[in-house]
Every structure is written in C-alpha cells, then in structure tokens.
Amino acid sequence: MVPRSMHKGGFASSSGFASFMALSALVAISAPVACSSNANGGGTGGSSSGGTCGATTVEDTNLQQCASCSPASACAAAAPLDACCNWVAEPKDPLLLGTGLHRYSAPAGSTLSTSCLSSAPAKGTSQMVTLTGYVWLFSSGQDSVGVQVDVFTENNPNTDGTISAMPIGTYTTSASDPADPTDTTWNSKCNNGCSYRQYTIKNVPTETPLVIRTSDAGAMQWATLYDYAVYLPSSGVQNGSVSYDATAVAGPDLTTVAGTVGQTIQSNMGLLAGEVHDCNDVRVGGATIGTNAANNSKIYYFTNDESDPLPSLEQNDTSVLGLYGLINVPTGTPVRVSAVGADPANPGQFLMLGTYTVQLYPGAVTALVLRGRRPWQP
C-alpha cells in the first residue's frame, strides 16, 4: 500500500504513500567482516540464496545519522549487507527503472538518476503556503469522500520519527470537492474512472519535515495511514500554493494484502509500506529493503501489476512498481528503513538507495517513499 507522491510525475505526483527520501552514496562492497551466520537480522527480506555474512557498510560516510548508529542484531547469510545499520539482502539483478507505467514512470531509454544520493539538496527559505492536492486511493474504493487529511511536523527528524502532538492543519474531503482530472480508467477498480477528491490546508510550512495522515472521518471505510518524509520545496510554490497528493487506503485492503501472504494483522502492531524511487522520482525495480524492527514478518515485495498490486512470496526484490511492505511491526519505537540496489552502471557495486527513521502506530500504515535525500538529512 503505497501512496502516490505529492508531485505529479512519484504500499505514487508528489504524493503520500509513494512519497517514500534520503539516499546515500554509491560504494563498492568488499572485505567481508566477521558476523554470526546463525543470527537472524530483524526486518530483513530478499533472496534466499544469501551471501557472505557481513560486508563493508553500504552507506555514505558523510551521513552522520549512520555514522553514529550500530546494527540492532547480527547479520544473517540471507541479508549480509549493512545498509546504515540495517541488514539487507544482496540484490540479484541490477536496478531497473519503471517504464510504461501510469505513475512515476520514465520514458523508454532513460537511465537511473543518482545525482541526489551523495548529497542532500540545499534547504531553501521556509514560507507559509496553502497545501493542496488530491486524495488518491491505494487500491479499493472509487471515491475518496470522507477522508480526513491532517498535517504534522516531525519532532526530531533523523532521530526518532515522532511527530507533533497536534496537526498544524486538517481537512475532510466531501462530494463537493473537485476530483482529479487525471485518467484513472487503467486502474482495475476504476473501470469508469474514480473520483479522487481535492483537499486544501492553509498555513503549512515549506522546507520542513512533514507527515501527512489520512484517516476515516466517520464513514467507517478508511484505515489510518501516516505518510513520512514529505518535503514541500519553496521552489515549487506557485501563487502561494504547493501541490502534494495524499494517499488513503480502505480498511479491507489491509486484510487482503496480509491474507495474500498468509498473515493475520495484529491490532497492537503497525504496517509498513512504501516505494523506492530514483532522483528523478521514477519507480525502481531490483531494490531490497531492511529495517531494524524486531517484527514478526518478513519484508514483502509486490508484483508489477500497476492496476492491482499485491505482495508475492516469489518476489525477492522490488518490481518496477518499487513497492514493498512489512506486516506486524512493533509500535512506539523508532524504526529505520534502508534500501539497497545493484548499480547497473558499475557491476559489483551497490547503491544505498535510501534510509529514513519512522514510527509505526497500532493498526495503522506507515508509508515511506524513498526518493533521495531530504534537505534535513546530513
């Protein structure tokens, strides 16, 4: 279940769920380090073939948040790469850009953009703006009426993923709100087109770490979803407004996704979902994910069916949709998420495709789209 990114152009315009950014530098994996091959790294997933347990850290040495961390557990042969203190499976195939898609797609012949991986973009001057966009639906539902949209600031970005106690703005969608004019008939749930309603919230700061929460406003239809790493650049402000598409998810979708991989959602646990994008906000296939969560499930990757994405037990890395998910993650503690991919231009080298710290919430989805470093990441 991944939200579309808020900016038109990214578990998808810049949107929420697909708005999953903090990428590091390209480094070569070499000189394995000792590590217990009997240990199981928390929150790992990927190839069952494994590799040498332990490897040179896959991180940008200038990324201070990684320099001070330490792995939460020993690595396992199935996840031998240390990606900012998370053990991650070694990707089998080179990264592949998503092409021919309806969202966050690249023109045929495009190459992977890595310009944002080695350094964060310069932080601009913050200003108060009107935030507007459309509430897209992850899967089920043809009309995003009755979704409450709340905007929070992050308290300690890079550290604990906690958010402000109260939202800085809120909006509830209704049938009187305009619908996104974008064609949605390609979606299996939208044969006659879906109505993704517009929301508008005033006095939202740009150049600030934000989290956008969508939830049910009373119709008992929508689950709660927290979209992390939302970045509104001042350079994108037009006439006092900036656009970002939020993502909402229908409650039954969570059960459907979990059931597809034989899991039952525990009410006291959270769910993690997201996408991996390159620096041009294009979806990326071939990425593997790791977390430091002591979760009760493995990381799942989704098929490449854009009209009806579902997790697959046979998928060992992201498809061209870039989607990943994790079920039944402990709440109330910081969880770091990292992504790694094999550099198609440099065989034998890996890209640290992103790292970010989030919180999970009982019965809710935490959405994280990794799409390059945010200005607040060193």
Q: How high is the pLDDT of residue 294?
A: 75
Residue 347, Cβ density class (10 Å: 0-12 exposed, 13-18 middle, ≥19 buried)? exposed
Look at phi and psi of residue 292 and say left if phi exceeds 0, alpha if psi is from -120 to 50, else beta: alpha
- Tokens at residue 299, please? 């990381």
Judged by average pLDDT, the poorest of 221-225, 240-244, 257-261 is 257-261
**pLDDT per position as a tens digit, 292-350:** 987 656 899 999 999 888 888 889 999 999 999 999 999 999 999 999 998 888 887 88
Distance CA 203, CA 132 (A): 11
Who's near 2: CB < 8 A, 6+ residues apart?
A: 11, 12, 17, 18, 20, 138, 247, 273, 274, 275, 322, 323, 367, 369
**In whole numbers, what is the pLDDT of the chain averaged over residues?**
83
Whether the pLDDT of residue 65 is over 60: the answer is yes
pLDDT for position 83 = 85
Judge whether 275 and 285 are in contact, CB under 8 Å: no
- Closest C-alpha to 40, from 80, 74, 71, 70: 74
> What is the mean predicted confidence (pLDDT) over 248-267?
90
Amino acid letter, residue 370? L
In the chain, the percentage of residues whose pLDDT exceeds 90 is 55
How many other C-beta atoms are found inside a 10 Å radius of the C-beta of residue 100? 10
Q: CB–CB of 141/151 below 8 Å?
A: no
- Reported confidence tier of residue 32, pLDDT bands at 50, 70, 90: very low
Per this entry, what is the length of the chain?
A: 378
168-181 tens-digit pLDDT: 999 999 999 999 99
Average pLDDT over residues 245-266: 91
Residue 260's pLDDT band, with cuts at 50, 70 and 90, is confident
For 91-143, write each residue's pLDDT tens digit: 888 999 999 999 999 999 999 998 888 878 889 999 999 999 999 998 788 99
Residue-level pLDDT at 295: 65
In the predicted structure, residue 244 carries a pLDDT above the cut 80: yes
DSSP string, 273-316: EEEEB-TTS-BEES-EEEE----SS-EEEE-S-TTS--EETT--
Residue 341 Cα to chain centre, angstroms: 15
What is the C-alpha separation between 60 and 84, in angstroms, rounded?
8
Quick one: which of 267, 220, 227 has its CA closest to 14? Answer: 227
CA-based max dimension of the chain: 61
The angle at the Cα of 51, spanning 53 to 335, to the nearest 5 degrees, equals 60
The reported pLDDT for the residue numbered 296 is 55
Token code pair at residue 122: 């310069």
Which H helix or E strand runs over 198?
Answer: strand 198-205
E strand or H helix that includes residue 271: strand 270-276
Residue type, position 300, single letter: Y
d(CA 231, CA 241): 14
**More confident position, 272 or 138:** 272
